[in-house]
Amino acid sequence: MHRREFLGAATAAILAQGLPSAAAFGAMPPVPLKPMEVGLKISPGDDPEISIRRVREMGFNNTFFSVDHYLNHFSPDLAKRIGDLLAKYNLVLTTLEIISPGRTVWDFQSGPSTIGLVPPSMRAARIDGLRQASDFAKILGVNQIQAHCGFIPEFPGDPLYEGTVEAIRTVTAHCQGNGQYFLMETGQETPTTMSRMIRDVGLPNIGVGLDTANLILYGKANPVDAVDILGPHVRSIHAKDGLWPTNPDKLGKEVLIGTGLVDFKKVFTKLHSIGYTGAVSIERETSGPQQIADVAKEKIYLERVLSGVFAS
């Protein structure tokens, strides 16, 4: 299975995070989320009701959408269909994420030339995809667009750096015009490199989607320490756990939340102390019945950790 095809057809039974969306269609909006409420990331697919219903059945009240499946097929009719389903199941949609188009390889060998907005050959097409997703999100009333920007060069003098800055600025400016934030998802770059990009893009609506495991899987940082650098810019969280890479050609291993190296209590405590109030979206990259079982366990684990954070 492609690393990003989780929660698709076979796993359309699980979903994630979101913002009020039904208001765009005159329906009663969902109850506002509590700070750091646990949600689920999903890929809605051809029959979004299957996935959206399952999110509610699993006890979540918010979801985060990966919408690569809809690229070049975004439309007001699709937005109405999804908005009506979110209203029907009383779910909040917080964020839309898109990675497409083009080949993407999640490793250290081909990743730098295939992921995000860094590869020059893919920039124009991916900027267009992000613009499409932003316009679609506007119809839904969602105010956050998220993406992996790629292996952003750590050296600002790298020949790829300025073009990457301009590409991210272009996307961020489009999102700004739609009243949205553009969030760079952590993973392929160090926190310092991402902080520099935020400064160099220089727009007020650029932020960070903190993936707690990706920082470890790519060998870039401990997420607890990353919050010290990126914390004020974090506007979404992918709750995920993992282990450091031991094969220099491959990413580290994603594991069940609570069995890896992420210290969720410390991460959440730091974010809570600086005022983070967004959702905490589970992202479990297994599939089928195992994914459903894992997500159920992870929901219990995270809610227990968060109850301790808020009680202290």
**What is the domain partition of the chain in residue ranges?**
18-311
Q: What is the DSSP letter of 103?
A: -
What's at 228, amino acid-wise? D
pTM score over 0.85: yes
What is the CATH superfamily name and number for domain 18-311? Divalent-metal-dependent TIM barrel enzymes (3.20.20.150)
Instruction: Give residue for tokens 């969602």.
Output: 142
Q: From its phi and psi, is residue 171 left (phi > 0), alpha (psi between -120 and 50) or beta?
A: alpha
Which two tokens mark 271?
């974010």
Query: What's residue 287's pLDDT?
Result: 80
On whether the CB atoms of residues 196 and 158 are closer than 8 A, the answer is: no
Q: From its phi and psi, is residue 45 left (phi > 0), alpha (psi between -120 and 50) or beta?
A: left
Query: What's residue 32's pLDDT?
Result: 78
pLDDT of the chain, 312 residues: tens digit per residue = 333 433 443 333 333 333 333 333 233 345 579 999 999 999 998 999 999 999 999 999 999 999 999 999 999 999 999 999 999 999 999 999 999 999 999 999 999 999 999 999 999 999 999 999 999 999 999 999 999 999 999 999 999 999 999 999 999 999 999 999 999 999 999 999 999 999 999 999 999 999 999 999 999 999 999 999 999 999 999 999 999 999 999 999 999 999 999 999 999 999 999 999 999 999 998 888 999 999 999 999 999 999 999 998
Which helix (H) or strand (E) element contains residue 40? strand 38-42
Integer Cα distance of 112 and 272 in angstroms: 33
Instruction: Give residue for tokens 């979004």.
Output: 48
What's at 261, amino acid-wise? L
Integer Cα distance of 88 and 233 in angstroms: 32
What's at 206, amino acid-wise? I
Question: Quick one: which of 183, 187, 189, 132 has its CA closest to 160?
Answer: 189
Instruction: Give residue for tokens 């405590």.
Output: 269
b/e map of 7-23 (b: 16 or more CB within 10 Å)?
A: bbeebbbbbbbbbbbbe
On whether the CB atoms of residues 205 and 172 are closer than 8 A, the answer is: yes
CB atoms within 10 A of CB 259: 12
Query: What's residue 3's pLDDT?
Result: 38
